[in-house]
Amino acid sequence: MKSKKIISFFLLILLTKWSFSQKISGKIYEENLTENKVEQLLPGASVYWLNSTIGTTSNANGSFEIDAPSLYPATLIVSYVGYQSDTINLLKYQTNLKIKLSKDVDLAVFELTEREKSTSVSLVAPIHIETLSEKELTKAACCNISESFETNASVDVNFSDAVSGAKKIQMLGLDGAYSQIQIENMPFVRGLSAPFGLTFIPGTWAKEIQIKKGAGSVVNGYESITGQINVELQKPDDTDKLFVNGYFSEGSRAELNIHAGQKLSEKWSNMQFAHVSNQSLAFDKNNDSFLDLPLKSQYNFFNRWKYKGEKHIAQFGFRGVYDKIEAGQLASSEIENPFKIDVLSKQVEVFTKNGFLFPKQPYKSIGIITNARYHEHNSTYGLKKFNAIQKSAYINTIYQTILGTTDNTIRFGSSLVYDDFSNNYNDSLFGREEIVPGVFSEYSYTNEKTALVIGLRYDYHNLYGDYVTPRFHYKFNVTEHSALRFSFGRGYRTANPFIENAGVMSSSRIVVVSKNLNPEIAWNYGTSITHHFNLFKKEVTVDVDYFYTNFENQVVIDMENPREISFYNLVGESYSHSFQSEFSINLTKQLELKAAYKWYEIKTTYVDGLREKPLVPRHRILTNMAYYTNFDKWKFDITAQWFGVSRLPSTAANLPENRLSNNSIAFTTVNAQVTRAFKRFELYLGVENLTDFKQLSPIISAQQPFSAEFDASLIWGSIFGRMIYTGFRFKIK
């Protein structure tokens, strides 16, 4: 009897040991599309469990062994520099896995996200990266990138004025001009693109949007101050054969978006994008004689090609945009000389991306990106005219390799940025030519818990001299499901005050620009913590971040005198504190809830002293709830945003009837959408601003638009009110 107990005891120990030492093993290969079908093993590939820091790397024979998960189902992530990552879903214990990775060079930072949600924050990347998936983008009412952030807390969206329909974004409480906005790591919104550029890319063209807060990578340039927004478009070799989206709103806005991809051979693929939109009916709901929404038409075409060989990957394409806007006062018998706004934008762009691979050294690659753009902008705002032409060119070369092991990666290269501006404001000719060559180097170290990125770049500006840009990012996994990050970095940019503040053209303010505006220089410091955990068996994510931006120099936008707007170099201090906390939970497998709170303190030294930045609420709250029925046949989504009080520029010098209070009022907006999905077809119906909140009298002195007190630029709330819309999506995979 005693011997049986002893045997049972040892068996229990062995079983216990086996249960805690179960291993999952496998081999990692390169997916070979050539005729010889030779399988190339990949040493040094990263293998880890989703939402965990448990991981390993493949050995010299491409083999790996990793501890089995405690619970199933579980998701295994496999990644390798220069290859597309793979996701393996395991429903039960398996071993001897055979995993194939496809070559890919996106000529940028290789980044991973942890979960297949509409919005995700990486636990792996050293930079704070929030990824908006296609699922998240379909929640937005419509239809271009500027409207894709309305369900997101990290990026703020607002109208720039009450008449032109232009929307502006903000990150960390500062204008979008301080964020580097790119398409697939190529320059996108710069210079003349500032007021309307985000409307030039329909949301349906995007595969995902990556939001990187704080100082970005030196590989992408010196201009990032508050962060980077990178739009990844649909890929020719991984997209629908045909996708069609139609949209129509109560405000008479109609849109048609089409894209189609063709795989021409094993190596070649092609894709076409087309967009047509029109808004032709006049609305004046508040009876101030001004159109609530502009009359608008846009034609947009984009074609891209992709070649994928064993040693060479290439992409190239071209894009063209024609955008026309008419706004202002409605013509009537009572108004002899109405205030009119006409804006015409024409843009043509070509790009190439080339990646050179080394099959025997898969950790090594060379990338070359080129981009050229011609942009013509002609605008009339009442008596003000601004016409300009921008010719731009960009080239970036990147060499990537390892130092000893794949834990240590280094990238270095060179870049050239060229901009030629020809501007004409009210018959005053001015312009400039900027030529900025630069070099950079960036070192990355990663292990199971730590990730470190140190970058430095040097650029020489032909007008302003030396730019030295250091960047630092550090991530530490406090637990398997928690990531603590720190970052700091410097950024530079050249201001374009007329076009970046086009909203003030919708006023009678006199524009005063100092003769010698210096480049804007700022330091950004940030920290964040991201934590995944289970609460009552529900998956929860908490993300908290704080960023501080301090300007060495800034082009101050001074609107404190209601008769003028002044642009001058900073004398004194200017800074921004930004705090955001976000909480998301899967209440059930079908119900998701997200809530976020933001606090800003943004101050700048004006002529009359240090004051709070106007038209930016100190407090904001966003909540989003999404519900999906089985097989996603029905989708319900609702987003509520509460905006706190913001300071308004002084209007004390105006007549009493044209004076505003010192502050706005707090208000709430609600957007909702329901979608019915069929096999290849989706119908959706939604409403923006369900509560029908409108800013009262958004235009000062609307009845006298040529008087000294006319101003349509002091916008802090909605103008149109409630907007009902409908649309459809059709796809052939």
Segment 107-146, tens digit of pLDDT: 433 333 333 567 888 888 889 999 998 888 888 767 788 8
Q: What is the pLDDT of residues 145-201, one digit of tens each?
A: 888 898 899 999 888 888 887 788 899 999 999 999 999 999 999 999 988 888 999
Pairing relationship of beta strands 555-558 and 564-569 according to DSSP bridges: antiparallel
The per-residue pLDDT for 106 is: 44
Q: Output the pLDDT for position 39.
A: 66
Tens-place pLDDT, residues 309-344: 989 999 999 999 999 999 999 877 577 789 999 999
Residue 7 clears pLDDT 70, i.e. is over it: no
Q: C-alpha angle 240/241/242, rounded to 5°?
A: 85
SS3 3: helix
Give the model's pLDDT for residue 104: 56
Instruction: Round to whole Å and give the CA distance between 311 and 358.
Output: 6
Read out DSSP for 28-42? EEE---STT-PPEE-
Asked if 315 contacts 352 with a C-beta cutoff of 8 angstroms, the reply is: yes
Q: How confident is the model at residue 9 (pLDDT cuts 50, 70, 90)?
A: very low
Quick: pLDDT tens for 261-300.
999 999 999 999 999 999 999 988 888 899 988 999 999 9
**d(C-alpha 438, C-alpha 17), whole Å:** 57
Q: Which two tokens stand for residue 390?
A: 């921008």
How confident is the model at residue 116, as a pLDDT?
52
Q: Tell me, what's the pLDDT at 503?
A: 81
pLDDT band at 36 (very low <50, low <70, confident <90, very high): very low
pLDDT of residue 17: 39
What gap in Å lies between CA 497 and CA 564, rounded to an integer? Answer: 14
Look up residue 151 and give its DSSP letter.
T
Q: How many CB atoms lie within 10 A of CB 427?
A: 7
At residue 342, the 3 state secondary structure works out as: strand
| Pairing verdict, β 74-79 and 86-90 | antiparallel
What single DSSP character describes residue 250? T
Average pLDDT, the chain: 89
Mean pLDDT calculated for residue range 578-600: 95
64-73, 293-302, 470-479, 632-641: which has the minimum mean pLDDT?
64-73
pLDDT of residue 697 exceeding 70: yes
Question: What token pair was written down for 315?
Answer: 């992409």
Percent with pLDDT over 70 in the chain: 92
State the pLDDT confidence band at 51, using cuts at 50, 70 and 90.
low
Distance between CA atoms of residues 637 and 687, nearest Å? 11
pLDDT over threshold 60, residue 16: no
Terminal-residue alpha carbon distance, the chain: 67
3-state secondary structure at position 635? strand
pLDDT in tens, 480-517: 889 999 999 999 999 998 888 888 889 999 999 998 99
* Domains along the chain with CATH numbers: 17-101 (2.60.40.4130), 204-732 (2.40.170.20)
Closest CA to 733 of 365, 243, 403: 243
Cα–Cα distance for residue pair 394/61, rounded to 1 Å? 41
Tell me the DSSP string of 515-572. S-PPPEEEEEEEEEEEEEEEETTEEEEEEEEEEEEEEEE-EEEE--STTEEEEEE--S
For residues 541-560, average pLDDT: 97
Mean per-residue pLDDT for 56-62? 78
pLDDT of the residue at 423: 86
Per DSSP (E only), the strands in 251-310 are 253-263, 268-279, 295-308
pLDDT band for position 32 (50/70/90)?
low
Distance, CA of 127 to CA of 452 (rounded, Å): 9
485 burial (CB, 10 Å; 0-12 / 13-18 / 19+) is buried
What's the whole-number mean pLDDT along residues 655-680?
A: 95
What's the confidence (pLDDT) of residue 285? Answer: 86
Which tokens in the block code for residue 724? 């009902």
Tell me: pLDDT of 428 over 90: no
Percent of the chain with pLDDT over 90: 64
Query: Between the ranges 52-61, 544-553, 708-717, where is the mean pLDDT highest?
Result: 544-553
Which of 11-25, 36-50, 188-202, 449-463 is predicted least confidently? 11-25
Residue 330 amino acid letter: L
Cα gap 359→311, rounded to integer Å: 7
Beta bridge partners of 469: 457
Query: 99 pLDDT exceeds 70?
Result: yes
Output the pLDDT for position 6: 45
pLDDT of residue 648: 96
Residue, of 34 and 505, whose pLDDT is higher: 505
